Amino acid sequence: MDEPFGTRLRARMDKYGPLCVGIDPSPELLGAWGLDDSPIGLERFSRTVADSVGDLVAVMKPQSAFYERWGSRGIAVLERTIADLRDAGTLVLLDVKRGDIGSTMSAYAEAYLDRGSPLAADAVTLSPYLGFGSLSGAITSALAGDAGVFVLARTSNPEAAALQSAVAGEVYEGVRAANEARRPLGSVGVVVGATVDSPGYPLDRLNGPVLAPGLGAQGATPADVGRRFAAVRHAVVPSVSRAVLADPARLRARTERYRDECAKALSL
């Protein structure tokens, strides 16, 4: 990682399109693939996804919770999955949604953003609900190590709307300040669901990437992404998981279709 995350993300999106593919090895998906709900099944699922589509998309997003549920054995699989994704050449966004204060936040940053950590990713998701300032240690660590962060702002789950609407302004302004004067794209992004009609802020002011989960199984379409994120069409990263993961035989074809449809909807 010898360039800022935002620069590397911009280059990957220019070459491979805007799509992020989530790796969500839930018990239901493992069963649908004919795999045991076990660390062995977890590893086979993850390695297949990495091998099948790691060369197709800009970003891949393992969901840490599905690995953590198996304790040390699951974390070992997550470490190998991150290594496999790096070998495939894609950027790794680890979905951990961590948020804390002081030394605890620094410890999370060391675990997920320090280059020497076996869990080091290109970027992570962060939760700002102890105050945006509580994330300063992680953001500083990320920028120092050419990594990135995506801060939850307006997520795709409907039960979050009231709380997030009340605090989103602080999140957006914090992200805008962190990205000031950074080109071509800042390394501090936000998470805004692809199902959200109004983020409550002009996203083009952020100068950073916008992760937009909710494509596919949660109801958003590539056309929705194009309409809702037209102002940041060069910075939005729509994310799809179950809609491409459901059928291993069609994993690559479905990924290519979502990637191409999103690029078309965003006129890229």
Active site residues: 97
Phi and psi at 175, nearest 5°, equal -65, -45
What is the separation, in whole angstroms, between the first and last Cα of the chain? 26
Evaluate the CA torsion angle 101, 102, 104, 106 in order and state its sign.
Answer: positive
Count of CA atoms in the C-beta half-sphere (13 A) of 98: 24
> Position 156: which residue type?
S
DSSP three-state, residue 207:
coil
Distance CA 94, CA 118 (A): 12
Q: Tokens in use for 3?
A: 């360039």
Q: Are strands 20-23 and 210-215 parallel, antiparallel or unpaired?
A: unpaired
Distance CA 2, CA 146 (A): 7
Distance CA 127, CA 105 (A): 11
**Of 102, 133, 93, the residue nearest 12 (C-alpha):** 93
Strand pairing partners for 215?
220, 240
